[in-house]
Each structure stands twice: as C-alpha cells, then as structure tokens.
Amino acid sequence: MTTLKKIDSYRWMVPQDYKPGMRVPGIIYAKESMIKAIEKDQSVEQVANAATLPGIIKASLAMPDIHYGYGLPIGGVVATDISKGGVITPGGVGFDINCGVRLLRTDLTLQDVEGRIEGLIDALFSTVPTGVGSKGPLRIKGTQYREVLRKGAAWAVEQGYGWPEDLENTESQGCLPGADPSLVSSKAQERGKDQLGTLGSGNHFLEIQVVRQVLNEPLASVMGLEEGQITIMIHSGSRGFGHQVCTDFLKVMERALQKYQIQVPDRQLACAPYDSQEGQDYLGAMACAANYAWANRQCLAHWARQAFSKTFGKSAQELKIEQVYDVAHNIVKIEEHIVDGEKYKLAVHRKGATRAFPPGHSELPAHYREVGQPVIIPGDMGRASYVLVGTHRAMEETFGSTCHGAGRILSRQAAKRALKGRSIQEEINKYGIYARASSKATLVEEVPMAYKDIDDVVEVVHKAGIAQLVVRLQPLGVIKG
C-alpha cells in the first residue's frame, strides 16, 4: 500500500502531494480488506486527478463502491466552489445521467407470493421493455417531448402514470429546475423519443424483494417497512437520451479547456467554469436528461404496478404499492454546505454516489424530516440490497453523500471469462433467484461474482457514520436488460 494512508478503520487518504496540481487531498471510504482491489484498477489515480479541478473544496471523495469509471471513478464525489472559479465537469456525472433507484413497498407478504414469483417476473418481463435500444409503448414528440424534459416525473403523473404522492417521495420531487430543451441536440432527442418507460440494459434491473431483516425498527416503521414484506426495486436512468447529452457536451468541454486555459491531468475531466456559457449550457441540458430519467422511472413504476395488479387481481391501491423513495446518482446539483464553519454554494458532482441528507434538512418531505433521507443501496442480483438513512456526519464529511451500490470488481469481459464453461442459470439458482433478461450475455455480465459483497460496502458507510442501516432486502426474482 504505497499510495493510501490510513486515517482510521474506514477512511484512507490520497495525500495532496501524491500528484502535482492537487488542490486538496483525496479521501476514500473503505475497509482494509478492500484496499488491494481498489489500488489495482486506477480508481485511486482518478481520485487524485479530480483533486486538481479548479474550485474543488475540502477533498476529492470516493465511496466504498469505488471502481474505475470515465473521468471520475464510480463512487466519486466532488464539490466545487462556484463563487471562486469552480468548474462543472460532465466526467463527474457520467453518461447515464440520473441513473437512480426507486423502491416501492406493498401490503403483500412472502406467504402471499409463494409459488407465484415466476409468474410475477414473467408478467413484469412482458410488461416492461428491456434491453439495448429497447422501445416502449410511449411515443413522445414536439411539445410533449419538451414537457417531459421540463417537468420530469410530474409529466408522467399528469398522464396517469402514477400518483401525486410518488412525487413527494422522489428526490427533488422528480424535477431539476433550469432544464432547457433548446440545449439538447437533435441526436439526443432522436435517441430518447421511443425509450421513455424502458428499463435498458447492463446493470439496470427491476427486482422483487422481501424485507428479510429489520435493522432499525423505528426508522423502518416511518418508511412503512416490516419483516416479511414484499418490495419492488427499480434501477434505471436516462437511457440513450442522457448518454448522448453527455457525449455532446464532452466535446464542448474539451474546447472549453483551451478557451479558459484550464489544465487537467486527464481530458476525461474536461470542464468549464460554472458561470461560463458552456457550464450553464451543460447544466441546462443535464437537467433535461435528469428529468427524462425521473419520468422514465415513474413510468416503470406504473408498469410494475400494472403487472402486480394483473397477477393478483387487485388494484395497485388495494395492494398498497406505495413509493418509499426515489434517489438519484450520476448528477450534479447546486447545494449549500457548511465547510469549516463557513457557508458555501457548491456544485456537488455525485457519480455512482447518492445523497444522504440528514434529519431536519429542508429538502426532505415532511414525513422523513425527523429521521433523514431514505438511502437505497442495491446489491447484485443474488445477495441483498439495503435501505439506510442519511446522517449529520454525512453532511459534515461528504457533502451529504454515500455509496450507490455494491460496485463492480470484475469488468463485463472479465465476468464472461470467469464464468466460461459454467452455467449462468446454475450460478443464479445458487441464490434461489428467478431471473429473466433480454439476452443471456446480460446475465453473464451481471453475475453476482462480478460485484463487491454489498454487506462489506454498507458496513463501511454505516460504521463510518455517513449512512445508518434500516432494513436488509433479499431478492426473489429479477428482470434485467
């Protein structure tokens, strides 16, 4: 371990003198058993690279799900001071803008779904479009398209795809302000026009789970979660629309480096000052993609409710398929934070990281304000997922951020090599999971062995104090892209 210096059992430092140009140190949240893998894949180098960004404040941060990404590592958190030349970088957000997770609870129990999981998964698979380039039942264009990009999840609810209370239980009420459809390329709009209400491919999923263990009864009660209860988890983002927005603005930002004479050690971190035209244009286009993603998850939740309703012969209201929360990752937000006793307005980039706002925060819905923001951390499709809440310590240390998932330890190609000669179905059956996917290749790439153990990841954030455990969810069945 030549690079990282141990701060305590769950925090490691990349010293500021590790690389010329670092303006702040790097801080990685991890336990010792994770360090060897983290140092192997160049993600530490990316933490150091991010520490050179103009306006960066406090530290370049990374969560325990850290692994190599484009520009910023997955699990990275970077905040820049927008009043002092702080920059905006698309590489600090990623291609799948506002990829995020939504959790729905139901009044069903494990006993109610016994012997019916395969039928439920089949119903979901036939209802929810999945896979690369998949097309959904919605066709949006013209004024309607612009309304989706401006309103986000609210547009979907207005069209009958969900309930008004869903919006209350969505981060930012499912809409980022400042979205400007005129800043989105025709290619991005073309890629997104048929993909609203589709799951996508890769690590995106829709999963039926059971609350296997309640770890904090009072907090679980506020969320309406109890042992033996069936839940539905949805993980998806802005599809080809967001990918194209990122692609378009990476070119814009590369030109901006020269224009504003900004030097970065990795051109994947190409950026522009917050108050520049390029910075503002990216934020306006990114908000469109974020809103598209929230509308997308809102529609996916509606399709899931329909599938459950059809299977059980009861309405979604009768089954009480209610939203616990929807959290975003892969996003940059303008937020106020206290750093060393002083209030700052910051551009907080979270890439493969999620908000973990504490009790009392004004942005939380009233019913969660006393306990903190629900944090939804999915694992792989075999082991477990977790619900946590945000903490005051997260606000003090990580700009109110925590991890977003288990984090890969094998690339998709490495996962294929590791599974060569073995049955993917047998691997999945070990966990008692019924899985459907648009292609066998997706299941192979997403095999549980490709991911860190989610129990290790959440142990770090819980014991480091940047999120508090509430319940453990066990998967029963899943559909993948």
Q: List the catalytic residue out of 243, 329, 404, 462.
A: 404
Which string of DSSP letters, residue by residue, matches 4-27?
-EEEETTEEEE-GGGSTT-SS-EE
Torsion of the alpha carbons at 367, 373, 379 and 385, rounded to the nearest 10 = -30
| E-only strand ranges, 186-228 | 205-214
Whether 219 contacts 245, CB under 8 Å: no
Tell me how far CA of residue 248 lies from CA of 99, 187, 245, in angstroms: 18, 9, 5
Query: 338-345 long-range contacts, Cβ below 8 Å, gap at least 24?
Result: 338/395, 338/396, 339/57, 339/58, 344/57, 344/81, 344/83, 345/81, 345/82, 345/83
Residue 252 tokens, joined: 């814009």
d(Cα 380, Cα 452) in Å, to the nearest integer?
A: 8
> In the annotation, is 404 catalytic?
yes
> What is the distance between the alpha carbons of residues 223 and 466, in angstroms, rounded to a whole number?
19
Task: Yes or no: say if 389 and 219 are a contact pair by the CB < 8 Å rule.
Answer: yes
Tell me phi and psi for residue 157, to 5 degrees. Answer: -65, -40
**Residue type for 40, please?**
K
Q: Which residues are catalytic?
A: 404
